[in-house]
Amino acid sequence: MKALTKTDFNFPGQKSVYHGKVRDVYNIKDEKLVMVATDRISAFDVILPKGIPFKGQVLNQIAAKFLDATTDICPNWKLSSPDPMVTVGVMCEGFPVEMIVRGYLCGSAWRAYKSGVREICGVKLPEGMRENEKFPTPIITPTTKAEIGEHDADISKEEILAKGLATPEEYALLEKYTLALFQRGTEIAAKRGLILVDTKYEFGKHDGVIYLMDEIHTPDSSRYFYADGYQEKFDKGEPQKQLSKEFVREWLMDNGFQGKAGQQVPEMTDEIVASISDRYIELYEHITGEQFLKEEAVGDVLERIEKNVLKAL
């Protein structure tokens, strides 16, 4: 099975295409977006030299399932998923912030806390917390949506309002949607024996209405812990067993790569690529509770995608 790492379609009414780190987004008449989840994989803001078979299908299908499972909470951009690697949706004007919500103190928030920081994005943190400890209630720590090549930066609610990135009414709705979506994701994860630790949401407007955009609750945008053993590991101060893309970063770091200047990406052997593919399929099955059905390439994947998208448009 070959990985799909590049697309170059020309759909009817296509006005532009944006090639992101892992997805290719086609603008159709400034009305719809065709988002192709490729098998490219990125870590430390670097696109790795080899794609991962089935990764695009895994992420697209997880996101589609969670978009469908949250339509009662807020409108979202998805219109259809005509191909295992594609979502077609409404074109929105995105808010230039990502709504990051955290249920537990870990990752970059823990690193900041450990160094003495007690306020993140305007949110005050209690004293005496430990790594991977649950917050009394989930906290929202937004970041700016970076221009290409720049890193996202923390921003507070007050700064978002002062800069006019959202009106007070809009921001109140973004907060409400963020917490409700996180609550729903937490409930779904719990049924699968998982803890939704933190995640990010992106929102935009279409015809004056706020929509949830992009992916939701995937292992690329979220961090999960296994519920079984969480308390025991926390009590002993041991690392939690995670279900996220963290294993890819760990493999890179073990091989001397953190995306810094002059560092070489370690060789991605066929065995490494296959093992990462297997882990993504494992993530899919844990998160959805369903068996993953590989969409094998009968003939050409690009031809299949084009045919399916043309039918949907």
HEC string for the chain: CCCCCCCCCCCCCEEEEEECCCEEEEEECCCEEEEEECCCCEECCEECCCCCCCHHHHHHHHHHHHHHCCCCCCCECEEEEEECCEEEEECCEECCEEEEEEEECCHHHHHHHHCCCCEECCEECCCCCCCCCEEEEEEECCEECCCCCCCCCECCHHHHHHCCCCCHHHHHHHHHHHHHHHHHHHHHHHHCCEEEEEEEEEEEEECCEEEEECCCCCCCCEEEEECCCHHHHHHHCCCCCEECCHHHHHHHHHCCCCCCCCCCCCCCCHHHHHHHHHHHHHHHHHHHCCCCCCCCCCCCHHHHHHHHHHHHC
φ, ψ for residue 254, nearest 5 deg: -60, -25
Helix axes 270-288, 55-68, angle to 10 degrees: 10
Mean pLDDT computed over 96-104: 97
Instruction: Say if residue 147's pLDDT is above 70.
Output: no
- What class, spelled out in words, does domain 94-243 have in CATH? alpha beta
Average pLDDT of every residue of the chain: 94
pTM above 0.85, yes or no: yes
Which of 178, 198, 186 has its CA nearest to residue 246? 198
Instruction: Say if residue 49's pLDDT is above 70.
Output: yes
Q: What is the pLDDT of residue 242?
A: 86
Instruction: Say if residue 243's pLDDT is above 90.
Output: no
Mean pLDDT computed over 173-182: 98
Q: What is the pLDDT of residue 140?
A: 98
Domain 14-92+271-312 has CATH 3.30.200.20: yes
Q: Residues of 198-214 as b/e, b for ≥16 C-beta within 10 angstroms?
A: bbbbbbbebeeebbbbb
In the chain, CATH 3.30.200.20 sits at 14-92+271-312
Instruction: Say if residue 30's pLDDT is above 70.
Output: yes
Would you tell me how many other CB atoms lie within 10 Å of the CB of residue 107?
17
Q: What is the pLDDT of residue 151?
A: 61
- Tell me how far apart the alpha carbons of residues 11 and 18 are, in angstroms, rounded to a whole number: 14
Q: Terminal CA-to-CA distance of the chain, rounded, Å?
A: 28
Contact criterion met (CB below 8 Å) for 168 and 175:
no
Q: Which of 84-88, 273-277, 298-302 has the lowest mean pLDDT?
A: 298-302
The encoded tokens of residue 57 equal 């299908």
User: 246 falls in which pLDDT band (50, 70, 90)?
Assistant: confident
Q: What is the pLDDT of residue 148?
A: 53
- When comparing pLDDT for 152 and 86, which is higher? 86
Contact criterion met (CB below 8 Å) for 241 and 225:
yes
User: 298 falls in which pLDDT band (50, 70, 90)?
Assistant: low
Would you tell me how many other CB atoms lie within 10 Å of the CB of residue 254?
9
User: 299 falls in which pLDDT band (50, 70, 90)?
Assistant: low
In the chain, CATH 3.30.470.20 sits at 94-243
User: 196 falls in which pLDDT band (50, 70, 90)?
Assistant: very high
Instruction: Say if residue 2's pLDDT is above 90.
Output: no
Instruction: Say if residue 29's pLDDT is above 80.
Output: yes
